Structure 1
């Protein structure tokens, strides 16, 4: 697709389907979402937002500001939705914040976030990760990987990437403006100590449309570790956006 957005088509007809943009958590790449193409085959085409410094972009320097990353993702996304192609934006943790700002620039059919505090609660949120190694170790928990089985060099690279994303998040300042005009769905796991109920409820203020809360069991990355309920939800949203409008 491009430098900032990857896709993994499962059939030649995918471009006629609604699009799902997935934004990963801090320190992670987007290729974890490739596995979702099977679950959503024939329902939607999966795209992943890929920041520099990881996976196929690991040699590239990080953007200087959060806004620079958002604008780059939005610029590559605009041709995807050209002509009215439906789009759902999903982001997990730090990816949810990116997804929100992308949604402000490229109007999707819905925004879905998980394990993510509301934008007005993000200012300075990455400070502990940047300044405190113990805090960083507590949050180092990449979906699909058990840190205990990583060699020292690999772990060091991933921790460095997580810290860089935390630095990037510190350049973010929420500037309230016109609320989104699309539904927002916020997911939270019961044992997620990094996102409080207040953080979750704050998402209701970013949209003038419907706001829904979804809850699961587990910790911060539970939604990605066991994505079955989320994938069912995303499939429903994609099917809804693809349905012809009722003209009766």
Structure 2
């Protein structure tokens, strides 16, 4: 793959399956989605979007703006879905915002977001991470990580990645002029203090198609920690996308 997309084929026929693009939360890389490949084998091919500054792109500079990152991901994604290959986009937290903007450029069969504020609710989000160490400690706690038990180098690495993405998010401005025309599914976990019910409900305004809310228990990262329900949901969406393509051809 290119610099911005990674994939982990599970079989020789993967290229004939629908594509699932997965975008990770702030401060994280896409390798975590490799573990989803067995669960989706024969249903869809998993792709991960990889921003610079982490994992295999650690030494690369961050894009100057949020829009630059979105355009780079979309540019690499277009050949993947050339010829009408079905696409489902999934993003978690900051990755959900990226996924939304990618979906505006490369039309998927569905957009799925989790633990993510609606685009119109992102103004100023991330400023606390950039400016306030207490806010960073709160974020570590949300992720189930106690900074006191992280060695200095590991914490510094995580802080650097989080702050890079937070800075990127501050360059985002929502332009609601063109709504999506595909279904949007928004997941939220009870106990997530970073995404309110109002933040969640705002997703209804971004599409002229169906909007569905899905709820689980846990906290901000519950959907990623226990992804079984989400994977079952993605399986259904990928199968529906494949069936719709078959009918169209």
TM range (shorter): over 0.9
Unaligned 5+ runs, structure 2: none
Equivalent pair of 1:114/1:187 in contact (CA under 8 Å)? yes
- Tell me what 1:42 maps to: 42
Distance of aligned partners of 1:223 and 1:112 in 2 relative to their CA distance in 1, 3 Å threshold:
same
For residue 144 of structure 1, report the CA deviation from its aligned partner.
9.1
- Tell me what 1:125 maps to: 125
For residue 160 of structure 1, report the CA deviation from its aligned partner.
1.1
- Tell me what 1:175 maps to: 175
After superposing on structure 2, the runs of 4+ consecutive aligned residues of structure 1 that deviate more than 6 Å are 142-146
Unaligned 5+ runs, structure 1: none
User: SS at the partner of 2:72?
Assistant: helix
User: SS at the partner of 1:235?
Assistant: helix
- Tell me what 2:68 maps to: 68
- Tell me what 1:108 maps to: 108
Q: Report how many residues are paired.
A: 247
- Taking the aligned partners of 1:8 and 1:124, their CA distance within structure 2 comes to 35
For residue 231 of structure 1, report the CA deviation from its aligned partner.
0.3
Alignment map for 1:93-104 (pairs within 5 Å)? 93-104=93-104
Distance of aligned partners of 1:110 and 1:144 in 2 relative to their CA distance in 1, 3 Å threshold:
farther
Instruction: Give deviations 1:82-108, integer Å, cap 9, x for gaps.
Output: 000000000000000000000000000
User: SS at the partner of 1:73?
Assistant: helix
**2:85 is the counterpart of 1:85:** yes
**2:157 is the counterpart of 1:153:** no
- Taking the aligned partners of 1:148 and 1:82, their CA distance within structure 2 comes to 48
For residue 117 of structure 1, report the CA deviation from its aligned partner.
0.3
Equivalent pair of 2:43/2:235 in contact (CA under 8 Å)? yes
RMSD, aligned α-carbons: 1.6
